[in-house]
A and B are shown apart, each in its own frame.
Chain A
Amino acid sequence: GAVVSQHPSWVICKSGTSVKIECRSLDFQATTMFWYRQFPKQSLMLMATSNEGSKATYEQGVEKDKFLINHASLTLSTLTVTSAHPEDSSFYICSALRSGGGEKLFFGSGTQLSVL
């Protein structure tokens, strides 16, 4: 199946610093990618839709200035958590939409962010 690579797998940072998470579609081009976050024992919550070459669309309640999304190429989207605080600690997951042959979303392996 299609592969989506997400990096890093986990990161620990100090409060106030920024953290960048990368999401790459390795064997297909993805004009659309999605970013989710997940708290322990909860379901995935959609944060934003990332479209190649245009601004991301954020879900209600998600601060666009805090969670910066860049989708500069058809195979790469990045999520930057700016000025991270402990409440931003969460599991972040990206997904890439593969069109053709039956539209499917493939997910990265996730990034566990811990803010001290």
Chain B
Amino acid sequence: DAKTTQPPSMDCAEGRAANLPCNHSTISGNEYVYWYRQIHSQGPQYIIHGLKNNETNEMASLIITEDRKSSTLILPHATLRDTAVYYCIVRAKGGGNKLTFGTGTQLKVEL
């Protein structure tokens, strides 16, 4: 799996948009970008994933650059409950392909 680079921490005011960047400059053509988050002492929660088109669901939006070397996860209206470690991971589809976690970004949402 390609490596990803994320800032170690970010702060965001409640109600504002949280934009979490991820660099994956060595991504391969068949690798998807996945985002997960982990709230303290819980299992990771799936947020969103995409290949090359921007994606949106009820939780977040994923913006992937045209060259696919970076992406941004957007939480449109962050709440205190969004405080968590966010992981950006690249992975090719297929049962044998692992999901390898990097160090992630600790997002702290504050009043």
Contacts and interface: CB of A to CB of B under 8 A. Distances in A.
Interface of A: 1, 4, 6, 31-32, 34, 36, 43-46, 49, 51, 91, 93, 95, 97, 99, 102-110, 112
Interface residues of B, number: 23
> Which label, helix, strand, loop or mixed, suits the secondary structure of the B interface?
loop
Contact of B46 (A51, A91, A106): A106
8 contacts: A43-B87, A91-B41, A99-B95, A103-B94, A107-B46, A108-B43, A110-B41, A110-B42
A34 B95 CA distance: 10
Given A31-B95, A36-B101, A107-B43, 12 more contacts: A6-B43, A34-B98, A43-B103, A43-B104, A44-B101, A45-B101, A51-B95, A95-B43, A103-B32, A104-B46, A107-B36, A108-B43
Contacts, number: 56
